[in-house]
Amino acid sequence: MTRIKLPAILLLFIVSKTHAQVGPIRKDFLSPNSKNVLVASHRAVHHELPENSLPAIREAIRLGVDIVEIDVKVSKDGIPMLMHDGKVDRTTTGKGDLETQTFEELRKLRLVSNGKVTEETIPTLEEALQTAKGHILVDLDLKTEHIGKVIEVVKKMDAEDFVFFFDSDYEILSKVDVASGKYMLMPRAYSQAMADSALTRFKAEVIHIDSKFYTPEVTSLIRSKGARVWINALGAPDAEIGKGNGREALKSLTKNGANIIQTDEPEKVIRLLKELGLHR
């Protein structure tokens, strides 16, 4: 009897512990005045792995990244799949718009990474959420107007607690908001006035801002309304981080109160933020 029960209890403990991993991240994510700066990995971890792939998501989890950013489009026959570009040409062995091709056609393609063909296929959103579930928050960058199909998958996967929806098109985000007030949202703003408008229109958990209007007044406004402040390290800051000059880049990115950083250098950013006392 003991030999049967002990493994079962041990397995239950392991599973419970695994699915509890995302809990502290979510709690912190929903605390806009937390001093802990969260790290979002752009298109998952894609230096050595295909972007928007399952291995790249698993690598983000392994590195202790807080948020994985993935892009979603919908196939001709209604299957949400991960793809950033309008066309599949750059990242796969195929050509053309993902949304004009069927799931069966798309699954025959292989992902390309750093110019090399891999054995990886284009993941479905369902596969991606299954990989992420219990481990990491997911920033779902909407690259499609077929929002209903995306929401169906989020519902099916019980992913409301770890997925948030991102778009600069507020009409698209409104469709998500109407579908359920439980969904977490991240509107993109291009000015302080637009950030204020987004906060009025949505009860957003986070606002995506740009460096051109990154001021203490903007971050104070956003955080006073219960939202976190997202800023990108993509481009010049990431280039400095990659070259080993990251401390000053991160000080600049966090100086006015932004508390989520999206980066192509997640491992280095986590290490540097820890050194600066800004990441647990």
71 has pLDDT over 70: yes
The total number of structural domains in the chain stands at 1
13 has pLDDT over 60: no
- The residue-averaged pLDDT of 99-105 equals 98
User: In sequence order, what E strands does 181-238 have?
Assistant: 184-187, 206-208, 228-232
Q: What is the pLDDT of residues 152-171, one digit of tens each?
A: 999 999 999 999 999 999 99
- The residue-averaged pLDDT of 41-68 equals 97
19 has pLDDT over 60: no
Q: What is the pLDDT of residues 225-259, one digit of tens each?
A: 999 999 999 999 999 999 998 999 999 999 999 99
- The residue-averaged pLDDT of 130-156 equals 98
* pLDDT score, position 12: 40
9 has pLDDT over 80: no
* pLDDT score, position 246: 93
15 has pLDDT over 90: no
Q: Are 77 and 102 in contact (CB under 8 A)?
A: yes
As a whole number of angstroms, the distance between CA 222 and CA 206 comes to: 8
* pLDDT score, position 77: 98
Q: Is residue 1 part of a domain?
A: no
| Per-residue confidence band for 4, with pLDDT thresholds at 50, 70 and 90 | very low
- List Cβ neighbours of 178 (8 Å cut-off, separation of 6 or more): none
181 has pLDDT over 90: yes
- Determine the Cα angle at 85 with ends 80 and 88, to 5°: 80
pTM: 0.92
Q: Is residue 141 part of a domain?
A: yes
Q: Is residue 271 part of a domain?
A: yes
Least confident of 19-23, 144-148, 213-217, 269-273: 19-23
Q: Is residue 280 part of a domain?
A: no
7 has pLDDT over 60: no
Q: Is residue 17 part of a domain?
A: no
Helix (H, G, I), strand (E, B) or coil at 184: strand
Contacts 24+ apart (CB under 8 A), 180-185: 180/151, 183/151, 183/154, 184/160
* pLDDT score, position 280: 87
- The residue-averaged pLDDT of 63-79 equals 98
76 has pLDDT over 70: yes
Residue ranges making up the domain that contains 221: 24-71+127-275
| Per-residue confidence band for 132, with pLDDT thresholds at 50, 70 and 90 | very high
* CATH number for the domain that contains residue 175: 3.20.20.190
Q: Is residue 253 part of a domain?
A: yes
User: Mean pLDDT over all residues of the chain?
Assistant: 93
Q: Is residue 119 part of a domain?
A: no
